[in-house]
């Protein structure tokens, strides 16, 4: 295979995904950047390239099965994806009586279905190679049922169950499954949210990038 030092990062165009991608490149990994926004991905690749790092841009909507299959096919031309960071996700918040069906579906499809589609497509090669690491950027909302967050919380509880299920299933294949459950992080996630606490009290996304790198590189 052409390259086995590859990490795929979903939702890499901004926020946590951008910081994780940058941190992994600094640590010597080659990173496949994927998200829906190709323009932002290309901008990040140029920045990384100017710093001497290797990255690849493959746009993808993780909620689309055909997009994910195309993503996998294109990564095969680059090499074996040994690590995945399932980071793509978003939240929309309101009281349950005002949750639009589309908002519910979009959050479940991106936050939960997207991680399922990505994992299912890429894990086959990991099983064959008897090695791999799958990281889920979850949330404290995957452990606690916060009000006014029914769709988001449901998607993250589902993601927690999904990761716990496959953790036991994939252990025998030498595949490590890691879930990270941070609290509020200072990213553009909150730009359209009426939050009652200042961003200065939120986690720095660089901290999550550090945790992710540690999770991937630890024995």
Is residue 211 scored above 80 in pLDDT? Answer: yes
**Residue 125 pLDDT exceeds 90:** yes
Catalytically active residues are: 152
Lowest-confidence range among 32-41, 82-91, 177-186?
177-186
Give every strand in the sheet of 6-10, ordered side by side.
55-57, 30-34, 6-10, 81-86, 132-137, 175-180
Q: What is the mean pLDDT of residues 77-94?
A: 95
Please state the pTM of the whole predicted model.
0.91
Band (1; pLDDT cuts 50, 70, 90):
very low
Structure confidence by residue, pLDDT tens digits, 148-207: 999 999 999 999 999 999 999 999 999 999 999 987 655 555 455 555 665 566 678 788
Number of Cβ within 10 Å of residue 105's Cβ equals 13
* Average pLDDT value for the chain: 91
Give percent of the chain with pLDDT exceeding 90: 79
Confidence of residue 138 (pLDDT cuts 50, 70, 90): very high
Alpha-carbon gap, residue 157 to 72, rounded angstroms: 26
């Amino acid at each position: 295979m052409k390259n086995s030092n590859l990490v795929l990062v979903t939702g890499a165009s901004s926020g946590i995904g951008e910081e994780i991608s940058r941190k992994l490149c600094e640590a010597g990994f080659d990173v496949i950047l994927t998200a829906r926004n190709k323009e932002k991905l290309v901008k990040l690749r140029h920045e990384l390239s100017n710093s001497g790092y290797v990255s690849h841009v493959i746009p993808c909507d993780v909620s689309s099965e055909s997009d994910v299959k195309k993503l996998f096919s294109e990564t095969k031309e680059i090499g074996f994806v040994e690590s995945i960071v399932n980071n793509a996700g978003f939240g929309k918040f309101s009281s349950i009586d005002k949750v639009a069906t589309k908002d519910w579906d979009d959050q479940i499809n991106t936050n939960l279905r997207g991680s399922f589609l990505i994992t299912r497509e890429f894990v086959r090669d990991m099983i064959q190679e008897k090695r791999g690491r799958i990281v889920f950027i979850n949330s404290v909302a995957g452990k606690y049922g916060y009000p006014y967050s029914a769709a988001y919380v449901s998607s993250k509880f589902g993601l927690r169950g999904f990761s716990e299920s496959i953790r036991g299933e994939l252990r025998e294949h030498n595949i490590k499954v890691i879930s990270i459950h941070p609290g509020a992080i200072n990213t553009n996630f909150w730009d359209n949210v009426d939050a009652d606490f200042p961003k200065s009290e939120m986690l720095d996304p660089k901290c999550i990038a550090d945790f992710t790198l540690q999770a991937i590189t630890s024995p």
